[in-house]
Structure 1
């Protein structure tokens, strides 16, 4: 008997659609405002570092927050399973708010120095390692299984909208008041999320997507982490989905970030061309997330997931072959659209299938792939494009990412996976 066979899904019907549920909307508003604050914070951090050091030092400051986030993400998943995820989110958001406001005050009193910025980035990354898994573990505790896909789509849409809104707000704040004002704006935005989060009600874990198994004991965190990794590896649905997502992220993250900059330079489209391509991808991803938020359910979810994954790989492989900007923008929109649908479906299927006692660790493993493993491809992609040009590297990375499609299609549970009906 496998791990997932020890519990059975409960077909609980929701009386209120997620987009009309005040509890869900409070959580969504808090999450969105917090993410916008994050976007403003990163603008403040980057520009403050640029005013204090050279390009290498800017990179060092920005990487200072990514390192502890990646190293501690899995431990954050253990904490999300051991403790109340809402309290973890509240606590970590409060610490982030105080940290950023303290940085604003310090920079207002003295000029920004690299050691201050590195210290802020390190602490922010440590707290983020607790915040991210707890956020992933919360949706099944605030809604019913039939609304989980819609909530996941709403969460993905909030992420995309915050990516659009955060940098402009940070830029305006930087122009008006410099780094201190921008840090202060980020802190105030994060502070706005706290009363909204405090008003979110948690549903009993036994009435969510699954029935609780015996929760992990108070043993060592390392043992609980290994137990979570074994749970993912043995789960007939979550294991293949996590592996497919990891391959997809590893194959395409470098090309869609570093590679797109170098492709734009190779084609001579200029900064505006890069902005159009990235904006097209963001618009497509937002539309894909909005689709799931509106319809709340798609038929043949497993096969649809594999299809959108394949379409995203094909788009990412061929975008370097088109000679004109408008075609690249159109392909970027299609890549984003399919990536948005794939991401929402992947998270929905995993959260629906996961035992609540393991959901924090499952989320942390998935996020570790995105923030810990995938960024390691950045220098490899840059070096390869410098040696061979953009087209062969994009084709090769797209082909590698397509291995994730094979992993999904070779799994019978993925092919037959369905979402709970609304």
Structure 2
């Protein structure tokens, strides 16, 4: 990886393996749950996994800042590997049963609540501040690769049966553990007087006292439409306009490839831009969403989709890098937890919004609303401070 070597490379590879395993796991779990108890159990099991993740994310962020995040990442990936080995054994001994699939989902939800902030707190311990944005570009490249390959891997494992499928997934998480164990991040002191006002603060209080709320909320809003709702709307629009089903998949692939291409490109650049670049990418994203909503032909829609992958990818890389740069290293776990909660926590509402808006006003209106959310994120990001952490000053709680 150009300019990113050693521990940072191992971190990116470990993160990519974890994402790949996680995405494939959810497909295998959904399939197994549906076979064991039908669609009702499938939905219940997936919900049981998501609830503890959302409820415990802020706790996970606090733990990541108080304990070495590398150790937490190792513990959580080890826990996932052991859980999947147990699932493989249970499949062989008892068959696929809803009750133990429910337990597996809950364990994964708890583990995710600790893993996400911990892995988000590690980059600033691995590279200099000027390399954080490029490292985020590599991370997002790994995320997109994992999201693209994970479903294919999960589908390929299904014919082998649950015993083999869970065992293979356990190996992926074990590979992540081995890579993480090879990392030696720099230690960070949390005893500095400047950090004491935040020593016992929650994630929300940390973001407020660091005065980075516009940056964090703006970043979350810029990602929210693309956490799933826009993809669903693309499929519904293709169906509504009578396009071939394969074109819906092609548009989603075009979006992913556009995002991957720009992430890989930005990971190699010495400088990737700042506020003006972000505002330009936000404006482009909003315009492309409006154009997609009124596209009458599949080819222009696919081009818009690829463009959306590029423009939203630029925003995501720079903003994620700026969140890392603007946060003291000892606070990154809590800030990562808040950012994740704003995206994951609001995504169910955004999913529901697709159907409600589509039924009441039509899909073009949904894309207009999504463009409005992106523009709102731009207004917040225009007021955000881009740069190193500012001095911490106590304010009224």
Do Structure 1 and Structure 2 share a fold, with TM-score over 0.5?
A: yes
Match of 1:230 among 199, 205, 209: 205
Q: Distance in 1 between matches of 2:193 and 2:347?
A: 32
1:359-405 Cα distance to aligned partner (Å, 9 max, x none): 11000000111211222221222122123221112112212331111
Q: Is the 8 A contact 2:70 2:118 kept in 1?
A: yes
Q: Do residues 257 (structure 1) and 231 (structure 2) align?
A: yes
Greater mean alpha carbon deviation, residues 55-64 or residues 25-34: 55-64
Q: Distance in 2 between matches of 1:54 and 1:296?
A: 52
Q: Is the 8 A contact 1:284 1:334 kept in 2?
A: yes
Structure 2 partner of 1:168: 152
Q: Do residues 307 (structure 1) and 284 (structure 2) align?
A: no
Match of 1:397 among 358, 370, 383: 370
Secondary structure of 1:205's aligned partner: coil
Q: Between Structure 1 and Structure 2, how many residues are aligned?
A: 389
Unaligned runs of 5+ in 2: 390-397
1:156-176 Cα distance to aligned partner (Å, 9 max, x none): 10111111111111111112x
Secondary structure of 1:257's aligned partner: helix
Q: Do residues 149 (structure 1) and 149 (structure 2) align?
A: no
Structure 1 partner of 2:99: 115
Rate the CA distance shift 1:61–1:274 in 2: closer, same or farther, 3 A.
Answer: farther
Unaligned runs of 5+ in 1: 1-15
Q: Is the 8 A contact 1:143 1:203 kept in 2?
A: no
Secondary structure of 2:201's aligned partner: helix
Pairs within 5 Å for 1:9-28: 18-19=3-4, 21-28=5-12
1:174-211 Cα distance to aligned partner (Å, 9 max, x none): 12x123322211111111111111010112337xxx99
Q: Do residues 246 (structure 1) and 246 (structure 2) align?
A: no
Q: Is the 8 A contact 2:215 2:384 kept in 1?
A: no
Q: Do residues 43 (structure 1) and 27 (structure 2) align?
A: yes
Q: Distance in 2 between matches of 1:160 and 1:188?
A: 21
Pairs within 5 Å for 1:202-351: 202-205=185-188, 214-215=194-195, 223-225=200-202, 228-236=203-211, 238-251=212-225, 253=227, 255-299=229-273, 301-351=274-324
Q: Distance in 1 between matches of 2:127 and 2:191?
A: 15
Q: Distance in 2 between matches of 1:271 and 1:361?
A: 42
Q: Distance in 2 between matches of 1:252 and 1:151?
A: 21
Deviation at 1:142, TM superposition (A): 1.0
Pairs within 5 Å for 1:63-142: 63-142=47-126
Q: Distance in 2 between matches of 1:27 and 1:348?
A: 16
Q: Is the 8 A contact 1:258 1:382 kept in 2?
A: no
Deviation at 1:412, TM superposition (A): 6.2
Q: Distance in 1 between matches of 2:359 and 2:140?
A: 34
Q: Distance in 1 between matches of 2:101 and 2:323?
A: 37
Match of 1:192 among 164, 172, 175: 175
Match of 1:358 among 320, 328, 331: 331
Q: Distance in 2 between matches of 1:254 and 1:412?
A: 26
Structure-1-length-normalised TM-score: 0.86
Q: Is the 8 A contact 1:151 1:293 kept in 2?
A: yes
Rate the CA distance shift 1:70–1:216 in 2: closer, same or farther, 3 A.
Answer: farther
1:230-251 Cα distance to aligned partner (Å, 9 max, x none): 3312434x22111212333445
Rate the CA distance shift 1:179–1:318 in 2: closer, same or farther, 3 A.
Answer: farther
Rate the CA distance shift 1:230–1:218 in 2: closer, same or farther, 3 A.
Answer: closer
Deviation at 1:216, TM superposition (A): 5.2
Q: Is the 8 A contact 1:107 1:179 kept in 2?
A: yes
Q: Is the 8 A contact 1:211 1:355 kept in 2?
A: no
1:98-122 Cα distance to aligned partner (Å, 9 max, x none): 0112112211222212222121111
Structure-2-length-normalised TM-score: 0.91
1:66-99 Cα distance to aligned partner (Å, 9 max, x none): 1111111111110010100000000011001101
Q: Is the 8 A contact 1:40 1:183 kept in 2?
A: no
Q: Is the 8 A contact 1:302 1:418 kept in 2?
A: no
1:266-293 Cα distance to aligned partner (Å, 9 max, x none): 1222431221111111111111211221
